[in-house]
């Protein structure tokens, strides 16, 4: 399991210690999946959803959302009505 | 040895629903204050749940039917995970293995080539990022600003087969696709405003050899930009191969000011989106009932409209131009109600009218000249009230003022002179004022005749009926 790659995809910086710890967790999870993989699923259709219902739908109607001050209030940094974030490289 | 080009297009169209794909926020985000059009769902706040907009699904199905796709009775949504702040959830809700429709095709209007449609699926749009810098270039920015007003607006993505063998074919396809979504009323297809976006895959290879390496092109914001970017990229790849180099698999941005494609190498490494089924939504079942109700509500599509226009007496090329932009076709059909000669209406629209519109930078639906007024103008020509030449002048005034043609003709005193005695008087004046011309005409210089007609027209400020003028001149000279 390439923990470093997963961390990078999520833009997370991990120390060597953290990497090692994560690797242990990841490997434990992967062990479970190995157990699942041992089941013969040759003739089984994949189950994406256990509930076979049509997804609920809404009519196309506009509803009032949040006030801007509330939106910006939960952001760590804002500027001129925008949410300010570190530049993504 | 020659080279062959292989191009495929990926087109995104914003759907003309009132509300977003999974929440009730408005889709009307252009020009709005940042972050004023958001709610817990499109901000991805914990505990919120998306609910599918029924109309967006119907629009996607309409597109799939119009593009001759196989409609899948079952499809579902996925999470496409990527870390970028334009999506607050860190994933986009999209479709993956089972789209709404697949294996379709459209026929191009001019070349009549059939282009395969690989798939069409529904997904949500992302927010907008601003990178404030003095240079305006993203690499010089130290931070970014995010506006989530656009996040969650419904899109359809239409992926074509790599069936284009030239940039002009790709452009033709994109224009036809835009016309189709406009006729369906599901998207306005405006590339400049970003409601229609297009990415391209381009590769070249030597004739008779296997396919070349694909380059992905982004950031083409107009039909012209698409064609220019593709032409540039094809040339670049051929040159590279000829000089012994190798085309790299990469994403390149089209820079309109620099008129070239620029590598984005390093920015996007091998993507790993870790798709998995969206657990917050259930599957979509498209049953016969839904399909039948959509099929019964399908409007006329461009291909049929072109045929109908041709059957009204319009040339194939003219019909294509009028259908490629739905609003022009609509205007034409409305005007024909007021003046039955469809060919004349078409000639006026494609001639003087489009000319004036281009000069003014207007769309036909924003013009002050209404269809009934154009019809009336042509009626005035037909019944002999004004000449074709004067009509051009009247039209120009109509275009600027929006006044009725009758009013302009009356106000400016432009009614055609058909009264023979009045014209005879002018003809005599012209003849006596130009004895030399008359002399050389009699000596056999036949083209002097047209000069004399011109003099009479000039003296009457173009109002004399030219046929009457010719007739009288012939007799008098
Ligand atoms: Zn929302």
Check B39 against A49: CB less than 8 A apart.
no
**B51 at A interface, C-beta within 8 A:** yes
- Pick from B282, B276, B273: which is nearest to B50 by CA? B282
Residue where one domain finishes, among candidates B387, B412, B437: B412
pTM higher than the cut 0.90 = no
Reported ipTM: the value is 0.89
For residues B100 and B168, membership in a common domain is answered with yes
> With a CB-CB cutoff of 8 Å, which residues 266-295 of chain B face chain A?
267, 272, 274, 277, 281-285
Q: Which residue of B has its CA nearest to A89?
A: B267
Q: Could you tell me the fold of the domain covering A1-44?
A: Histone, subunit A (1.10.20)
Q: How far is the CA of A63 from the centre of ligand 1 (A)?
A: 9
Show which of residues 50-89 on chain A sit within 8 Å of chain B, judged by CB atoms: 51-66, 68, 71-72, 74, 79-89
pLDDT in tens, chain B (477 residues): 699 999 999 999 999 999 999 999 999 999 999 999 999 999 999 999 999 999 999 999 999 999 999 999 999 999 999 888 899 999 999 999 999 999 999 999 988 999 999 999 999 999 999 888 776 666 677 899 999 999 999 999 999 999 999 999 999 999 999 999 999 999 999 999 999 999 999 999 999 999 999 999 998 999 999 999 999 999 999 999 999 999 999 999 999 999 999 997 654 555 788 899 999 999 999 989 999 999 999 999 999 999 999 999 999 999 999 999 999 999 999 999 999 999 999 999 999 999 999 999 999 999 999 999 999 999 999 988 888 888 999 999 999 999 999 999 989 888 888 788 888 898 889 988 988 888 888 888 888 898 999 998 888 888 888 888 888 988 887
CB B95 within 8 A of CB B134: no
The answer to whether the Cβ–Cβ distance between A88 and B85 falls below 8 Å is yes
Distance from the A36 Cα atom to the nearest Cα atom in chain B, whole angstroms: 17
Same domain, B70 and B198: yes
Domain encompassing residue B443: 420-476
Contacting residues of B for A11, CB less than 8 Å apart:
83
Give residue A65 CA to ligand 1 midpoint distance, Å.
6
Same domain, B165 and B107: yes
Q: Report how far residue A7's alpha carbon sits from residue A2's, in angstroms, rounded to the nearest whole number.
A: 9
Q: Across-strand partners of B472?
A: none
> Do residues B272 and B325 share a domain?
no
In chain A, what residues touch B282 (CB-CB under 8 Å)? 49, 51, 53-56
Whether residue B116 lies inside any domain: the answer is yes
How far does Cα B193 stand from its chain's mean position? 12
Q: B320 with B174, same domain?
A: no
B313, B188: one domain: no
Q: Does A14 touch chain B (CB under 8 A)?
A: no
Q: Cα–chain-centroid distance for residue B376?
A: 28
| Contact residues on chain A for B285, CB-CB shorter than 8 A | 54
* Shared domain check, B462 and B358: no
List the single residue in B35, B53, B138 with the smallest CB-CB distance to A60.
B53
| Residue B353 is assigned to a structural domain of this protein | yes
In this complex, which of A62, A66, A84 lies closest to B38 when CB atoms are compared? A66
A9 touches B83 (CB < 8 A): yes
In this structure, the answer to whether residues B278 and B399 fall within a common structural domain is no
Query: Which residue from B171, B203, B228, B211 is spatially nearest to B11, judged by alpha carbons?
Result: B171
The C-alpha angle with vertex B410 and arms to B406 and B411, in degrees rounded to 5, equals 115
Among the partner residues A57, A74, A85, nearest to B54 by beta-carbon distance: A57
Q: Which residue from B451, B457, B412 is spatially nearest to B434, judged by alpha carbons?
A: B451
In this structure, what CATH number is given to the domain that contains residue B468?
1.10.10.410
Kindly determine whether residue B18 and residue A66, on different chains, have CB atoms separated by under 8 Å. no
Q: Which residues of B touch A82 (CB under 8 A)?
A: 34-35, 130, 145-147
Q: How many domains in chain B?
A: 3
User: B276: nearest CA in chain A?
Assistant: A48
């Amino acid at each position: 399991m390439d923990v470093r790659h997963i961390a990078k995809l999520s833009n997370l910086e991990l120390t060597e210690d953290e990497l090692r710890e994560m690797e242990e967790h990841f490997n434990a999870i992967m062990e479970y999946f190995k157990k699942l993989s041992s089941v013969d699923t040759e003739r089984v259709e994949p189950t994406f959803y256990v509930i076979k219902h049509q997804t609920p739908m809404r009519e196309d109607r506009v509803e009032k959302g949040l006030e801007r001050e509330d939106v910006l209030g939960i952001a760590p940094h804002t500027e001129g009505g925008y949410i300010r974030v570190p530049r993504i490289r | 040895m020659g080279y062959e080009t292989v191009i495929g297009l990926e087109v995104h169209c914003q759907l003309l629903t009132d509300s977003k794909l999974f929440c009730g926020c408005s889709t009307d985000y252009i020009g709005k204050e940042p972050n004023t059009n958001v709610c817990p769902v499109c901000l991805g706040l914990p505990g919120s749940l998306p609910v599918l907009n029924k109309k967006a699904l119907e629009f996607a199905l309409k597109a799939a039917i119009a593009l001759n796709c196989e409609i899948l009775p079952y499809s579902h949504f996925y999470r496409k995970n990527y870390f970028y702040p334009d999506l607050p959830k860190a994933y986009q809700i999209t479709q993956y293995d089972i789209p709404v429709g697949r294996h379709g095709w459209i026929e191009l209007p001019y070349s009549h080539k059939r282009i395969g449609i690989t798939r069409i699926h529904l997904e949500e749009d992302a927010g907008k990022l601003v990178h404030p810098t003095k240079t305006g270039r993203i690499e010089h920015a130290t931070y970014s600003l995010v506006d989530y007003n656009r996040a969650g607006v419904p899109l359809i993505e239409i992926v074509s087969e790599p069936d284009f063998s030239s940039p002009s074919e790709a452009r033709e396809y994109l224009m036809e696709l835009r016309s189709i979504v406009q006729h369906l009323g599901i998207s306005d297809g405006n590339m400049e405003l970003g409601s229609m976006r297009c990415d391209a895959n381009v590769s070249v290879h030597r004739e008779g050899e296997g396919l070349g390496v694909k380059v992905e092109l982004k950031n083409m914001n107009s039909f012209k930009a698409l064609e220019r970017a593709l032409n540039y990229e094809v040339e670049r790849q051929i040159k590279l191969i000829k000089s012994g180099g190798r085309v790299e698999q990469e994403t390149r941005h089209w820079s309109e000011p620099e008129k070239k494609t620029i590598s984005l190498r390093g920015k996007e490494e091998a993507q790993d989106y870790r798709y998995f089924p969206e657990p917050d939504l259930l599957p979509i079942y498209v049953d016969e009932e839904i399909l039948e109700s959509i099929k019964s509500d399908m409007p006329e599509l461009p291909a049929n409209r072109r045929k109908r226009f041709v059957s009204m007496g319009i040339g194939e090329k003219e019909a294509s131009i009028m259908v490629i932009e739905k609003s022009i076709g609509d205007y034409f059909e409305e005007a024909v109600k007021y003046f039955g000669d469809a060919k004349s209406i078409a000639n006026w629209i494609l001639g003087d009218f489009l000319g004036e519109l281009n000069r003014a930078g207007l769309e036909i639906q924003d013009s002050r000249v209404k269809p009934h007024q154009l019809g009336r103008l042509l009626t005035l020509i037909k019944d002999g009230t004004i000449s074709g030449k004067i009509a051009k002048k009247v039209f120009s005034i109509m275009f600027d003022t929006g006044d009725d043609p009758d009013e302009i003709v009356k106000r400016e005193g432009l009614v055609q002179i058909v009264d023979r005695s009045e014209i005879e008087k002018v003809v005599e004046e012209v003849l006596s004022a130009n004895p030399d011309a008359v002399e050389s005409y009699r000596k056999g210089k036949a083209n002097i005749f047209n000069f004399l007609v011109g003099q009479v027209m000039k003296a009457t400020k173009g109002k004399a009926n030219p046929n009457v003028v010719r007739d009288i001149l012939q007799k008098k000279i």
